[in-house]
Structure 1
């Protein structure tokens, strides 16, 4: 996938990320699936108690309605993008033209030169160090720089391109993970129920059916508890 597409992903998925800040934090990854039978009685009792404490009608104070984890992700992405845009603009953005004819405003040439300078400084393609600064705006501006869109800029060198690619890839991956678009793999604290007793890992989180797999014998277990060798 072209890295500029990662920046497009950030721009397009940002509203969904903002909406997710209002959702209740969950602990659904990794999902319990059919392997809950491998939990001890004590662990299952603790899990049931946790669900009771977080139920909407549970007694006691309610958790904050804001998903702090999502806010942290948004802050991380936005800081990375805006900082990168500031750094890149400092390097590749041409300063606005300035002309001084030494004549007064009544002089046509002087007036045209001043207006041209003001127009160049106000070019909407420029990155602004003040005013509206957000992750989507920075992502869009950086994507245009990667695509060498015309404007008051010089082309990016290889080091600059690599720096933008790194922050774009990081931001897009964080969004995919947070919104459940990325496939993930994590070890589970339960041995394989088959004689090998190997390490179990769970793969999923990308909208596909999660699968538990034994890294020793290679057997896989789906939500129904059936294994598919």
Structure 2
């Protein structure tokens, strides 16, 4: 099931996303490649000073120690998964067993019912509305529901499966993009330098070298050590 696989990806790759958030971004999208952006002298000087300013005691604002864009992606994924798990649990999770006998703890029947209720409420398969509520836990729980794993739940209907699948697909795509594993295509504002003057697009973002393509004449530019070629 593709949706469950997407949720598995989020669970398995969440640590990699956390590690990516702990490092400063070193690239931007779309890439400049010498054809979409030229730094003026002031920008080059500012970047050089930022790279050189590594003394933590130096005056002035400090560069962000984390990748804010990745943190935003993590927040979006986590909120989407937890909200979906809350919604789904409210629909498919069976209420905790309750059957008061009114006979007191000394009565064997009362004791057995109370223990049953306690075990049912503590069932680790249940989704909790308090406590550990993070993206990996929500993704794992949702994947188990899609796979109809046993527990105090009813089976998901088609609408519920589709709703979870949409959130799973969105989260997996955002994660792949943030980790540089999703190839993207985006228009370039400048026209093709060839006589056709056609629309340029840049493709990349998946770890492979980016390329600029002209949709009209088919000319292509790739990153080289000296800029675009």
TM-score normalised by L of structure 1: 0.89
- 3-state DSSP class of the match of 2:223? coil
Question: Do residues 57 (structure 1) and 63 (structure 2) align?
Answer: no
Deviation of residue 101 (structure 1)?
2.5
Deviation at 1:129, TM superposition (A): 0.5
Q: 2:10 aligned with 1:14, yes or no?
A: no
* TM-score of the aligned structures, taking structure 2 as reference length: 0.89
Q: Does 2:119 correspond to 1:119?
A: yes
Q: 2:36 and 2:107 mapped to 1: Cα distance? A: 87
Once the two structures are TM-superposed, the CA of residue 217 in structure 1 deviates from its matched residue by 1.0
Question: Which blocks of at least 5 consecutive residues in structure 2 are unaligned?
Answer: none
Partners of 2:117 and 2:190 in 1: how far apart? 68
Give the whole-Å Cα distance in 1 for the aligned partners of 2:149 and 2:141: 10
RMSD: 2.0
Deviations 1:91-124 (A, max 9, x none): 0000011122332222222211111111111110
The separation in 2 between residues aligned to 1:82 and 1:147, in whole angstroms, is: 18
Output one character per residue of 1:36-93: Cα deviation in whole Å (capped at 9) or x when no partner: 16756xx443552342243142774321212222221111111111011001000000
Distance 2:90 2:37 in 1: 56
CA change 1:18–1:208 in 2 (3 A) is: same
Aligned equivalents of 2:173, 2:44: Cα separation in 1: 32
Determine whether 1:140 maps to 2:140.
yes
- After superposition, the Cα gap between the structure-2 partners of 1:37 and 1:20, relative to the gap in structure 1 and judged at 3 Å, is closer
Aligned length: 222
- Maintained 8 Å contact 2:36/2:188: no
Say which SS state the counterpart of residue 78 (structure 1) adopts: helix
**Ranges in structure 1 where 5+ consecutive residues have no aligned partner:** none
